[in-house]
Structure 1
Amino acid sequence: MTVQITSLRPGEYTPSPDAGLGALHTGKGNLPLENVEVEADITALTGGVEVTQGFRNPHDVPLEATYIFPLPDRAAVTAFRMEADDRVVEGVLKERGQARQDYDQAIAEGKRAAIAEEERPDVFTMRVGNILPGERVTVRLTLSQPLPYEDGAATFRFPLVVAPRYIPGAPLDGAGAGDGVAPDTDTVPDASRITPPVLLPGFPNPVRLALTARVDPAGLDLTEMRSSLHVVTEEEGLVRLQPGERLDRDFVLRLSFGASSALAFVPDRPAGESADAETTAPAGEDADGNGTFVLTVVPPADEEVQRRPRDVALLLDRSGSMTGWKMVAARRAAARIVDTLTFADRFAVLSFDSVVERPERLDPGLVPATDRNRYRAVEHLARLEARGGTEMLQPMEQALALLDDPERERVLVLVTDGQVGNEDQILERLGARLAAVRVHTVGIDRAVNAGFLGRLAGLGAGRCELVESEDRLDEAMEHIHRRIGSPLVTGLTLKAEGLEVVPGSVTHLGSLYSGVPLTVYGRYRGAGRGTLTVHGLLGDGRPWERRLEGRPARGEAPRAIWARAHLRRLEDRYAVGEHALEQEIVAASLRHTVLCRFTAFVAVDTRVVAEGGPRHRVLQPVEPPSGWEMPGLAAPMAAAAPAAFTTAAAPMAFRATAEGGAAPAFGGGPEAVAGEPFAKRLAAPGGRMFARPAVAPPAPPVPHSLDLVRPQLAGELARLRAQEEALPASERRRYLADLGSRLAALATYVGGENELRGLARDLMACETTPDADLDALWRRAVQVLTTLTGAGNAPSTGGGASAGQTRAPGRRTSFWKRG
Structure 2
Amino acid sequence: MMNRCGLITVQKEPVPLKSIEVELEVRDHVATVVSTLNYQNKEDKAVEAVFVFPLPGDAAVCHFSAVVGQKEIVAEVKEKQEAREEYDDALSSGQQAFLLEESEQSPDIFSMKVGSLAPGESASIRLEYVTELAVQADDGLRFCLPAVLNPRYQPQGSEGASVQVFSVPASLVPYTLCFCGRLFSPRPICKVESSCSLDPLQYLNTDQTQATVKLAAGHKFDRDVEVVIYYKDAHQPTAVVEAGQTSAKTGSLMGDPVVMVSLYPEFPPSVMSSVDSCGEFVFLMDRSGSMGAPLNNKERHQTRISSARDTLLLLLKSLPMGCYFNIYSFGSSFQHIFPQSVEYSQKTIEEALKKVEEMEANLGGTEILEPLKHIYSQRCIPNQPRQLFVFTDGEVGNTKEVLDLVKKNSGSHRCFSFGIGEGASSALINGLAKEGGGHAQFITGTDRMQPKVIQSLRFALQPTVKDISVIWDLPKGVSVTVLSPPITSIFQGQRSLIYGQLSGQSSEAAEGSVTLKYIQAGRPSQNQLHFSLKPAEDTGLDAGFHQTAEMPCTGWHLESIPADLG
Q: So what's the TM-score if we normalise by structure 1?
A: 0.59
Do the aligned residues in 1 keep the contact of 2:511 with 2:530 (CA within 8 Å)? Answer: no
1:306 aligns with 2:293: no
Q: How much does 1:47 deviate?
A: 1.6
Contact between 1:305 and 1:540, CA under 8 Å: does it hold in 2? Answer: no
* Aligned partner of residue 111 in structure 1, secondary structure: coil
Structure 1 residue 92, shift from structure 2 partner: 1.6
Asked whether the equivalents of residues 465 and 489 of structure 2 are also in contact (C-alpha less than 8 Å), the reply is yes
Report the residue type matching 1:513 in the other structure. Answer: F
Aligned to 1:355: 333
Is 1:135 the counterpart of 2:130? The answer is no
Residue by residue, what CA displacement relative to the aligned partner does 1:640-676 show, whole Å, maximum 9, x if unpaired?
xxxxxxxxxxxxxxxxxxxxxxxxxxxxxxxxxxxxx
Q: CA, structure 1 residues 438+229, in 2 after alignment: closer, same or farther (shift >3 Å)?
A: same
Q: Structure 1, residues 69-95: CA drift from partner, whole Å, max 9, x if none?
A: 112223211011111224333222222
Unaligned 5+ segments in structure 1 are 1-21, 171-186, 276-281, 568-595, 609-819
- For the residues of structure 1 that align with 2:412 and 2:365, how far apart are their CA atoms? 28
Cα distance in structure 1, aligned partners of 2:118 and 2:80:
26
Query: Which of residues 216, 228, 235 is equivalent to 1:254?
Result: 228
**Deviations for 1:145-192, whole angstroms, at most 9, x for unmatched residues?**
22223443222222232111222123xxxxxxxxxxxxxxxx2x1345
Indicate the residue corresponding to 2:479 in structure 1: 500
Map of 1:402 onto structure 2: 378
**Sequence identity (%):** 24
Q: Which residue of 2 aligns with 1:711?
A: none
What's the CA shift for 1:384? Answer: 0.6
Residues 606 and 256 (structure 1), Cα distance of their counterparts in 2 relative to 1, 3 Å cut: closer
- How far has the Cα of 1:487 moved from its partner? 5.2
For 1:371 and 1:289, locate their aligned partners in 2 and report how far apart those are by CA, in whole Å: 63
Say which of 555, 578, 586 aligns to 2:542.
Answer: 555
Residues 300, 488 of structure 1: 8 Å contact kept: no
Alignment of 1:518-597 (within 5 A): 518-527=496-505, 530-539=512-521, 541-553=523-535, 555-564=542-551, 566-567=552-553, 596-597=554-555
CA-CA distance at 1:196 after TM superposition: 2.6
Is 1:153–1:254's contact at 8 Å kept on the other side of the alignment? yes
CA distance in 1, matches of 2:172, 2:386: 50
Aligned to 2:419: 443
Q: 1:293 aligns with which of 244, 253, 259?
A: 259
Q: 1:45 to 1:27 in 2, by over 3 A?
A: closer
Partner of 1:18: none
Larger % of strand: which?
A: 2
SS at match of 1:454: helix
Which one has the largest radius of gyration? 1
CA contact (8 A) 2:8 2:51 kept: no
Q: State the distance in 1 between where 2:523 and 2:7 align.
A: 62
Distance 1:156 1:551 in 2: 30
AA partner of residue 323 (structure 2): D
**Residue 197 (structure 1) aligned with residue 171 (structure 2):** no
What is the CA–CA distance in structure 1 between the aligned matches of 2:7 and 2:497, rounded to whole Å? 43
- Counterparts of 1:194-343 in structure 2, within 5 Å, are 196-199=165-168, 205-216=173-184, 218-233=185-200, 235-236=202-203, 237-242=211-216, 245-257=219-231, 258-259=233-234, 260-269=236-245, 273-275=246-248, 282-284=249-251, 290-300=256-266, 303=269, 304-308=272-276, 309-324=278-293, 325-343=303-321
Q: In structure 2, what is the equivalent of residue 157 of structure 1?
A: 144
1:244 to 1:121, Cα distance in 2 relative to 1, 3 A: farther
Query: 1:233 and 1:37 mapped to 2: Cα distance?
Result: 20
SS at match of 2:365: coil
Count of matched residue pairs = 523
Q: Is the 8 A contact 2:419 2:441 kept in 1?
A: yes
1:479 offset after TM fit, Å? Answer: 2.2
Say which SS state the counterpart of residue 456 (structure 1) adopts. helix
1:307/1:402 Cα in 2 relative to 1: closer, same or farther (>3 Å)?
A: farther
How many Å separate the matches in 2 of 1:212 and 1:496? 38
Aligned to 1:32: 16
C-alpha contact (below 8 Å) 2:518/2:525 kept by paired residues: yes
| CA distance 1:545–1:48, shift in 2 (3 Å) | closer
CA distance in 2, matches of 1:393, 1:97: 29
Task: Report the CA distance shift for 1:75/1:103 in structure 2 as closer, same or farther (over 3 A).
Answer: same
SS in 2 for 1:231: coil
Contact 2:257 2:501 in 1 (8 A): yes
Question: Could you tell me how far apart the structure 2 residues matched to 1:161 and 1:274 are?
Answer: 39
In 1, Cα distance between equivalents of 2:543 and 2:501 = 13
Could you say which residue in structure 1 is the equivalent of 2:453?
477
SS of equivalent to 2:349 = helix
Residue number in structure 2 paired with 1:103? 87
Name 2:538's counterpart in structure 1: none
TM-superposed CA distance for 1:542, in Å, is 3.8
Pick the structure with more helix per residue. 1
Q: Which SS does the other structure have where 2:152 is aligned?
A: coil
CA–CA distance in 1 between the matches of 2:195 and 2:375?
A: 34
What's the CA shift string for 1:729-776, capped at 9, x where partnerless? xxxxxxxxxxxxxxxxxxxxxxxxxxxxxxxxxxxxxxxxxxxxxxxx
The TM-score with structure 2 as length reference comes to: 0.84
1:25 and 1:123, CA in 2 relative to 1: closer, same or farther beyond 3 A?
closer
Matched position secondary structure for 2:125 = strand
Shift of residue 36 of structure 1?
A: 1.5
1:356 maps to a residue whose letter is F
User: 8 Å contact 2:25–2:183 — kept in the other structure?
Assistant: yes
Amino acid at match of 1:38: V
Write the distance in 1 (CA, Å) between the matches of 2:123 and 2:160. 27
Whole-Å separation in 2 of the counterparts to 1:538 and 1:24 = 53
The answer as to whether partners of 1:263 and 1:551 remain within 8 angstroms in 2 is no
4+ residue segments displaced more than 6 Å: 22-30
- Asked if structure 2 preserves the Cα contact closer than 8 Å seen for 1:487 and 1:512, the reply is no
For 1:285 and 1:521, locate their aligned partners in 2 and report how far apart those are by CA, in whole Å: 15
Aligned-partner Cα distance in 1 for 2:274–2:169? 55
Amino acid at match of 2:348: N
**SS of match in other structure, 1:321:** helix
* 1:603 correspondence with 2:553: no
Map 1:720-735 to 2 at 5 A: none
Preserved contact between residue 487 and residue 514 of structure 1 (Cα < 8 Å): no
**Which runs of 5 or more residues in structure 2 are unaligned?**
1-5, 204-210, 294-302, 536-540
Return the offset for 1:27: 12
Contact 1:326-1:470 at 8 Å conserved across structures: no
Judging changes above 3 Å, is the alpha-carbon distance between structure 1 residues 550 and 508 closer, same or farther for their aligned structure 2 residues? Answer: farther
2:354 to 345, 360, 379: 379
What is the SS of the residue equivalent to 2:340?
A: coil
Shift of 1:431: 3.4
Quick check: 1:79 aligned with 2:63? yes
Residues 401, 55 of structure 1: alpha-carbon distance in 2 compared, 3 angstrom cutoff: same
Amino acid in structure 1 at the alignment position of 2:491: Y
Report the CA distance between 1:29 and its aligned residue: 9.5
Contact in 1 for aligned 2:189/2:229 (Cα 8 Å): yes
User: Aligned pair in 2 of structure 1 residues 402, 292: CA closer, same or farther (>3 Å)?
Assistant: farther
Q: What is the match of residue 114 of structure 1?
A: 98
Which of 50, 68, 71 is 2:34 aligned to?
A: 50
Q: Judging changes above 3 Å, is the alpha-carbon distance between structure 1 residues 338 and 230 closer, same or farther for their aligned structure 2 residues? A: same
